[in-house]
Amino acid sequence: MSTPRGPLAVGIDLGGTQVRAALVDAQGAVLARAATRTDAVGGPWAVMQQIKGLVGEVTQGVLRPDLAGVGVSAPGPLDSEAGMIVCIPTLPGWIDVPIVALLKDALRLPVVLENDGVAAAIGEWRFGAGRSLRDFVYITVSTGIGGGVIADGRVLRGRRRMAAHLGHMTTAPEGELCSCGNRGCWEAQASGTALGQAARDRLASAPASSLTALGPAVTAVDVVAAAQAGDAFACALMAREAELLGIGIVNLLHLYSPEAVVMGGGVSQAFDLLQAGITQWIAAHAMPPFRTVPVHAAALGQNAGLVGAASIVFAAAD
Ligand SMILES: [Zn+2]
């Protein structure tokens, strides 16, 4: 463990597949990490025990006074003000769970809760690609699309702190069915899940593509790999993906007038394949004063979720 600077916080990234934990210092450095497979069958109580175990694992040898608290980032919708997870679609039984109260009791530490998109936005703001910016929008593009908005030097919260469900703005009224029940949400059009679906839907028209061998098993990861290898069909899908992302980003530019848009999530690992297309879309469709706003890849990479979760502890203490 390197020498920690300033107070420490534990970040917990609660996901449908994994619960991850990290001990993070006040400069955003990850000092220790641990992860386990989410006990989805055991329900909230079992996962509380998992979180307690992970906190113990990453804080070995840390004196309690050095620990500012535990930040939990989870998929929404959640009520971060009430410390309540409203539901997690990928975790059955997680309905109206007062996770902050339960963890405070179990850990005897301050606990804060944040939507995962907003937590990652705060992490990038404090420690990553949004550092020192007064206005920026963070988007995470992976299984779905989420994010957070930093406006006028503060986190945009909204009613019940539910602002910035960016993935559910409608970008195509007759578009794909979204997990939320609407049609044509940005996430249903442009997420990694949607990219994989677009590939499968069009595969029959591309017999020469290397993806054809994978058949119905094709995912966004395969599309990215094939595009990186120069596969024409996959490159066309990525060009379309860049446009679909561009449509939403132009809306965000007009809404929030950020100094930059920062993109994280699994799909952002292919950012080099997307950046030119996104930039072209912005240049062609944003109003003139918005056309030069840059789009960057997130700087925290694989650590974004964990550092983001820890950073909400530091943000709460500011
Ligand atoms: Zn939706």
Question: Residue 84 Cα, ligand 1 centroid: separation in angstroms?
Answer: 21
pLDDT digits (tens, 9 = 90+) for 161-200: 889 999 999 999 999 999 888 999 999 999 999 999 999 9
Strand order of the β-sheet with 67-74 is 30-37, 18-25, 8-14, 67-74, 111-115
Q: What pLDDT does 4 receive?
A: 61
Q: What pLDDT does 109 receive?
A: 94
pLDDT digits (tens, 9 = 90+) for 245-264: 999 999 999 999 999 999 99
Read off the pLDDT of each residue in 1-19 and give the average, rounded to a whole number: 82
Question: Residue 108 Cα, ligand 1 centroid: separation in angstroms?
Answer: 37
C-beta separation of 53 from 113 below 8 A: no
CA 203 to chain centre: 29
pLDDT digits (tens, 9 = 90+) for 191-212: 999 999 999 999 999 999 999 9
Output the CA angle 27-31-35, nearest 5 degrees. Answer: 125
Whether the link from the prior residue into 77 is cis, omega within 30° of 0, is: yes
Question: Residue 164 Cα, ligand 1 centroid: separation in angstroms?
Answer: 12
Name the packing angle between helices 192-202 and 220-228 (round to 10°): 70
What mean pLDDT value characterizes the chain? 93
Q: What pLDDT does 83 receive?
A: 93
CA dihedral sign, ordered 93, 99, 101, 107: positive
Question: Residue 270 Cα, ligand 1 centroid: separation in angstroms?
Answer: 23
Q: What pLDDT does 16 receive?
A: 81
Q: What pLDDT does 184 receive?
A: 96
What's the pLDDT band for 2 if we cut at 50, 70, 90? low
Read off the pLDDT of each residue in 136-146 and give the average, rounded to a whole number: 93
Question: Residue 188 Cα, ligand 1 centroid: separation in angstroms?
Answer: 7
